[in-house]
Amino acid sequence: MKHTRNLLITGSIGLACFAAQSAHAAGTAAGTLITNTASATFTSGTTSATIQSNTVTVKVDELVNVAVTSLSSTPVAAGNAPAVLVYQVTNTGNGSEPFNLTADPAVSGNAFNSTIQTVAIDTNGDGVYEPGTDAIITNGAASPIIAPDASIKVFVLANVPSTATDAQTSQVKLTAASTLGTGTPGTVLAGKGAGGVDAVIGASGATANALDTLVASLANVTLTKSAVVVDPFGGTAPVPGAIVTYSLLVHAAGTGTANGVAVNDAFPAGTTYQAGTLTLNGAALTDAADTDAGTATATGISVTLGNVAGGSADKTVTFKVKIN
C-alpha cells in the first residue's frame, strides 16, 4: 500500500512589551520581545499530526533619534525685556530618554550676538513662558525624560546687548543631543538602551537643532535745548532783567520703548527761577513735589515723563529764569 504525507507549515508571532506602548512614528518600543513559533501539520496514512518548532525571541534595540523645531513664526522683539524664543523638542526614537539642551547665540551671520538669560521647560504645555511655573534648567543640561513620539516645549530667554541698534536681527540655535551619546547613524552603543538593550544611533545622529530669530526693538532718545530771550525793552538782548525761556525737547525714535525717562536741568548761575513757569507740552506744572510730573527746587527743575515709546509725539518741557 502506498502511503502519502501532506505537510503544511504555519507560524505565529507574539509581542511582549516591557516598555511603554510603542508610538507609531517611533516604531516598536525598545525592549519589546518579538517571539515567533512555527508549526507544521501533516498526515501519514490515516493519522494527522501537528508539531511545533522552537520559539525564537528577538529583543528590540533602542533607536536614538530626535527632532527640534522653532515655534516662533516671526522674529521676536527684544528691548528692555528679553526675547522669549520657543522651540519644540520631539523624541523620534523608540525609547524614553532625556536630551541635553544647549542654546547658542553665536550664529554665523548675526548682526549681534544676544546673551542667554534663561533656558526653561514649558511645565504645563501652554506655550507661554511663566516665571515661577516653568522649570528653569542650566544651559546645556538635560531635559526631563521624553517618551517615544512625545514632545516638550523649550523657552530660551535672550537679552539684546548695548551694542545692538534698533531693528537689527539675531538668531539663537537650540540643540538637543541624546544623553546616551551621538554619532554616525548606525553606531551601536552597547547596553545603553532601555532595559539594557543596545542603543543604535538613528538617522538624526541622535542630535538636532533649530534656529529662532529675535529683533532688537529699541528706543533712541535725544534731548534738544533751546532758549528765547526777551529783554526789559522789548528786544532780545541778554541783559540784567531779561527773561530767558528754556525749552527742552525730548524725541524718541525706534521701535522700542524708553523706560523711566526724566528730564532734569539746573538753573544757570547768575539767574533766578521764575516761580510757576514750569510746563510740559504747554500745560502748567506746579513747583511742589506733588502728584503732577514736575518739580522746581532752589537749584533746578525735574520732570518725569515715564515710559516713552519710539515714534511717539515729542515732549517739551519749558521754564523761565531772569538774568540777575
For domain 219-323, give the CATH number.
2.60.40.740
d(CA 257, CA 214): 16
- Predicted TM-score of the model (pTM): 0.75
Per-residue pLDDT of the chain (324 residues; tens, 9 = 90+): 444 444 444 445 454 443 333 334 568 898 889 999 999 999 998 999 999 999 998 888 999 999 999 999 899 999 988 999 999 999 999 999 999 999 999 999 999 999 999 999 999 999 999 999 999 999 999 999 999 999 999 999 999 999 999 999 999 999 999 999 999 999 999 999 988 999 999 999 999 999 999 999 998 899 999 999 999 999 999 999 999 999 999 999 998 889 999 999 999 999 999 999 999 999 999 999 999 999 999 999 999 999 999 999 999 999 999 999
- For residue 291, give the C-alpha cell: 502728584
- For residue 123, give the C-alpha cell: 511645565
Distance of CA 285 to the CA centre of its chain: 44
Helix (H, G, I), strand (E, B) or coil at 233: coil
All residues at 6 or more sequence positions from 73 whose CB lies less than 8 Å from its CB, including other chains: none
Give the alpha-carbon dihedral of 138, 144, 148, 149, to 10 degrees: -70
Give me the pLDDT at residue 120, please. Answer: 98
Backbone angles phi, psi at 110, to 5 degrees: -65, 140
3-state DSSP percent of the chain in helix, strand and coil, to 5: 0, 55, 45
Please choose, from the candidates 138, 155, 62, the residue with its C-alpha nearest in 3D space to the C-alpha of residue 100.
138
- For residue 244, give the C-alpha cell: 530767558
Give me the pLDDT at residue 195, please. Answer: 87
Is 63-216 a domain of CATH 2.60.40.1930?
A: no
Identify the bridge partners of residue 23 per DSSP, sorted by sequence position.
27
Give me the pLDDT at residue 8, please. Answer: 45
Element (DSSP H or E) covering residue 32? none
Domain boundaries, the chain: 5-62, 63-216, 219-323
d(CA 4, CA 312): 101
Q: What is the pLDDT of residues 200-219, one digit of tens each?
A: 999 999 999 999 999 999 98
Q: What is the pLDDT of residues 7-24, one digit of tens each?
A: 444 445 454 443 333 334
Q: What does the longest C-alpha to C-alpha distance in the chain come to?
A: 150
| DSSP string for residues in 256-272 | SEEEEEEEEEEPPTTEE
Backbone angles phi, psi at 194, to 5 degrees: -60, 130
Domains 63-216 and 219-323 share a fold: yes
